Amino acid sequence: MKDTVAPRLRVGKYVLPYALLLPAMVLILAILIYPIFDTLRLSFYNVKLTSIEQPFIGLDNYRAVLSERLLRVVLKNSFIWTLGSILVQFLLGFGTALILDRSGRLGSIIRGLLLVPWVMPGIVIAFIWRWILSPDWGVLNFTMTRLGLIDSYQPWLARPTSAMISLVIANGWKGFPFWMIMITAGCKAINQEIYDAAAVDGAAGWRMIWYIILPLLKLPLFVTSTLAFIWTFNYFDLVFALTRGGPVDATRTVPLYIYDTAFTAFRMGEASATSVLLLALMSVAIFLYIRLLRIQGGHLS
Amino acid sequence: MRTWRWYTRLIMKHGPAAIFIVLVIIFAFFPFYWMIITSFKPPSEIFRDPPTFIPQNLYLGGYRKLLVDPAFVGYMKNSTIVAGGTALIATFVASFAAYSFSKFRFPGNRVMSFSLFLTQLFPQSVILVPLFIVFQHYRLYDTYAALILSNLAFSVPVSIWLMIGFFEAIPQELGDAALIDGCSRLGVLFRIILPIARTGVVATAMYIFISAWSELLFALTFTTSKTIRTLPVALSMFIGQYTADWSGLLAAATLTCLPVAIIFLVLQRYFIEGMTSGAMKE
């Protein structure tokens, strides 16, 4: 970010940087920033696709959305899905990161391979899990009956509770590598001497993890949780493709609700109002994330 | 000789850690294994109880059917066009912006570049309705352009953010020397920065390709006709209707994740670098 050479042209120095940004900024403003503000505007209108007339209706969309009984269900589902996924991802990611941390070349190869689920398209993951969970030929049913855990084959995705648990496990499976990588990065910043000192003082095993490692990883863990919260809360593909929000709305999350309100029920104004509410909720998380980065910058680097 | 952290040694010695890792590896890879072997099983074997964990007969029917199906080949083509177009445009536009952010000092530099990263945190569903209306209005609905544009909304900021990292690793002196030798500032980008950072630029383009290749929500919302539909949308339509052709379905799923897996395994190092530094720095 330094510009040490004396500028040959003032234009080169003061105009060029902005000119270089122009194409990217035009695109971002047109297809990201403008639509966000347009959502806000649309949330105050009765948007009809069939007619040009779009009357201003003030807060009616918000009133309609907030009095919708389904909204509360959808919010509850979203929180269960997000927090459940995060818990599974944390446990798997934390465990693998700690064990593979500095365990040589083999460790880093395993770590690289374990990342594969994380990059896979959500739709492919949905296919795989549908097949594994299949009520008639699913390998999960087969294994569990053989192990004596269940008596008969279960329709996992057709029951409210087990459908949500299936989603959480599938998403935990997809997302844990991100936690693993972030925690590994956090571990790199910890000094070996701290462990040695703690070991001398008699810390070992779980006590070591609880009193030494977790406190030292506090900030990276908070940053990762915030990011994972935002991404998981808004993640559409996997839920849509695995359960479509069913059975009977038991796994319907906010993005699915917005999608269906807008493109199945064609209530675009209400979908916009819901989007605005979602954005407000996310802003809290984003604000927290920025705060955490500030703190982290001050302490670690 | 790498030093093992003492606790790693400790738990490794006691076994549970090793068992944990083995279980995680099985948990992580069994689903892929199951998808791939199922895609090679003939229908008679797929619906056998108990299931076969190693396919008894190699069956290529699932793949053969897909690869001669003009519809499926069409979806692959559409996905390639959309993902390729998004990756090309995003990388091109972003390389200018990243050059500006990483090598020039100007008011707003830090604020703007950090805001770019924050766009990643916006819900995709929030821009759905307005983009839908705009695309309908400009007759872009159900065209490649709509898909490429909507993918660019999030791809351009991410590309800029990733490339800033790669460009900043190049010493300022190289560019300065070229300026003294009479190279223009734009020439510095094309003759010095881009050639040196080419692996990073390719990795960025590939990252965008993968995410556009996998993208479902925009593709689902902004297309209706089969001639434009991308692979993820086509797959999501298959999954909706009840069907017994699991070898065909899982062959389609395998083919969809194949390019992603190949690209990822080749460029893994850059992915890891990009995701950790992106999330942890302001």
Percent of chain A whose predicted confidence (pLDDT) is above 90: 57
Structure tokens at A282: 């996310």
Is B280's CB within 8 Å of A220's CB?
yes
Evaluate if residue B266 carries a pLDDT over 70: yes
- The answer to whether ipTM exceeds 0.85 is yes
Q: Can you give the pLDDT at residue B145?
A: 96
Tell me the pLDDT tens digit for each residue of A121-134.
999 999 999 999 98
Task: Give the CA angle between residues A255, B226, B142 to the nearest 5°.
Answer: 60
Task: Give the CA angle between residues B160, B165, B169 to the nearest 5°.
Answer: 135
Q: Can you give the pLDDT at residue A301?
A: 36
* Pairs of residues, one from chain A and one from chain B, whose beta carbons lie less than 8 Å apart: 326
Q: Chain A contact for B113, CB < 8 A? A: no
Tell me the pLDDT tens digit for each residue of B28-78.
999 999 999 999 998 888 888 788 888 888 888 889 988 998 999 999 999
Q: Can you give the pLDDT at residue B140?
A: 94
Residues of A in contact with B218 (CB under 8 A): none
Average pLDDT estimate for A62-88: 94
Is B129's CB within 8 Å of A47's CB?
yes
Helix runs in chain A, H state only:
10-14, 16-28, 34-42, 60-67, 69-100, 104-114, 116-119, 122-133, 139-146, 160-188, 192-200, 205-208, 214-216, 218-233, 237-243, 254-263, 268-300
How far is the alpha carbon of A24 from chain B, nearest alpha carbon, in Å?
6
Distance separating alpha carbons of residues A48 and A296, to the nearest angstrom: 47
Q: Can you give the pLDDT at residue B149?
A: 96
Cis previous bond, A220, omega within 30: no
Q: Can you give the pLDDT at residue B9?
A: 61
Q: Can you give the pLDDT at residue A212?
A: 82
Axis crossing angle, helix A122-133 with helix B198-214, rounded to the nearest 10: 50
Tell me the pLDDT tens digit for each residue of A233-276.
999 999 999 998 879 999 999 999 999 999 998 899 999 999 99
Q: Name the residue of chain B whose CA is nearest to A137's CA.
A: B47
Q: What pTM, to 2 d.p., does this model score? A: 0.89
Q: Do A77 and A250 touch, CB atoms closer than 8 A? A: yes
Tell me the pLDDT tens digit for each residue of B238-256.
876 656 678 888 999 999 9
Is A236's CB within 8 Å of B150's CB?
no
Evaluate if residue B13 carries a pLDDT over 70: no
pLDDT tier, A12 (very low <50, low <70, confident <90, very high otherwise): low
How far is the alpha carbon of B61 from chain A, nearest alpha carbon, in Å?
18
Percent of chain B whose predicted confidence (pLDDT) is above 90: 52
Q: Which of B101, B216, B246 sits opposite A237 (nearest CB)?
A: B216
Tell me the pLDDT tens digit for each residue of B111-120.
898 888 888 8
Tell me the pLDDT tens digit for each residue of B93-142.
999 999 999 988 888 888 898 888 888 889 999 999 999 999 998 999 99
pLDDT tier, A11 (very low <50, low <70, confident <90, very high otherwise): low
